[in-house]
Amino acid sequence: MRSVAVYCGAREGADPAFALAVAALGAELARRQLVTIYGGGSLGLMGVLANAALAGGGRVIGVIPRNLFERELGHPNLERLEVVDSMHQRKARMAELADAFIAAPGGFGTLDELFEALTWTQLGIQNKPCGLLSVNGYYDHLLHFVGRAAGEDFVDSTHSQGIVRAEQAAPLLDALRDWQSPGPRREVAGPVLAES
């Protein structure tokens, strides 16, 4: 594991613990000499992450859609800031650059990025671990939903159980490092259709 993509909010959220945990994550990524890949923004938890990693001497690469870059939301002090044409290209490029993924607290965009990474691993498009920085139980309800989806046979249990979770950076990064791939999802036979 040489690089980690971190998905997180463009806002800091209501709980100050979120920013503290994300700053600790940025510092820990730098301490371990892991390249931080993130959405390239300067605001919210994204800015907190980048600033902490940079302050720790870490390498930080941002990937930002052109429309956000043009609104002056790109971080000015990164090693590299890649400007792409769309959110779809941003997600694909971050996935290409990263060896693992972490969702820190965030909103719809964070969840979109997380579930795309999880889906690509489930389908065998990539073989990379996904983790949740579940500060103060932020992702507990999400994990409950994933467990329900597995219980209803919409998600293989091996994939639902393969989501790494921790409340602090160091144990989360350790778990991502030690993650074992469950392999692509099993094939599900559909109903047999009678010929007419």
| H runs (alpha helix) in the chain | 16-31, 44-55, 66-70, 87-97, 108-122, 140-151, 157-160, 169-178
Candidates 3.40.50.40, 3.40.50.450, 3.90.100.10, 3.40.190.10; correct CATH number of 3-178? Answer: 3.40.50.450
Beta strands (DSSP E) in 12-154 are: 35-38, 60-65, 80-84, 100-103, 130-133
Q: What is the pLDDT of residue 94?
A: 97
- % pLDDT > 70, the chain: 92
Distance, in Å, from the CA atom of 92 to the CA atom of 114, rounded to the nearest integer, reads: 12
Longest dimension (CA), the chain: 68
What is the rounded average pLDDT of the residues 10-14?
Answer: 95
pLDDT tens-digit profile of 81-134? Answer: 999 999 999 999 999 999 999 999 999 999 999 999 999 988 889 999 999 999
Residue 157 has pLDDT above 70, yes or no: yes
Q: Which residues of 79-97 are buried (b: 16+ CB within 10 A; e: fewer)?
A: eebbbbeebeebbebbbeb
pLDDT in tens, 20-77: 999 999 999 999 999 999 999 999 999 999 999 999 999 999 999 999 888 868 899 9
- Give the pLDDT band (50/70/90) at residue 183: low
How many CB atoms lie under 10 A from the CB of residue 2? 12
